Structure 1
């Protein structure tokens, strides 16, 4: 997916509030009640969907963790899930 430049502006109100333009909300997948994060780098600010941003940060932190755990293929992951569920069932049965 290529990144495109889109510019829109909004007025800052007396209490520092800004209405995010409808087109921007649509691009970011933001709906009423959703949260946004402000990512500041130097003199630039990015407004991002908080849920998407949190997932991106988690993915960065977890990069390479699957390989370290020996989860290389989809079959490795499926086996791990099956074994984990079996262990959880046994643990609950022994509680």
Structure 2
């Protein structure tokens, strides 16, 4: 467990152990979520990535891609077309 002090402007310093655990770097944004009376802090980029992955679930198969090599070949074709 870690302890942080709130400044008069409502700011805190996230302890190093927590920053490392969340893979936070200077300039990163954090996401606060309340659930069942508890507050959770998450690296916002991880939330975004999880949302994109969820939305893209099954799209490769719908587009006819069977393997990662199919996707790589398609990207190479797109790059040649430019």
TM-score, length-scaled by structure 1: 0.69
Select the structure of larger CA radius of gyration.
Answer: 1
Does 1:79 pair with 2:73? yes
2:52 maps to which residue?
58
Structure 1, unpaired ranges of 5+? 1-6, 90-95
Paired residue total? 82
TM-score, length-scaled by structure 2: 0.77
- Which is bigger in relative contact order (C-alpha 8 A, separation at least 6)? 2
Question: Root-mean-square deviation (CA), in Å?
Answer: 1.9
Structure 2, unpaired ranges of 5+? none
CA distance in structure 2 between the aligned counterparts of 1:41 and 1:20, rounded to whole angstroms: 20
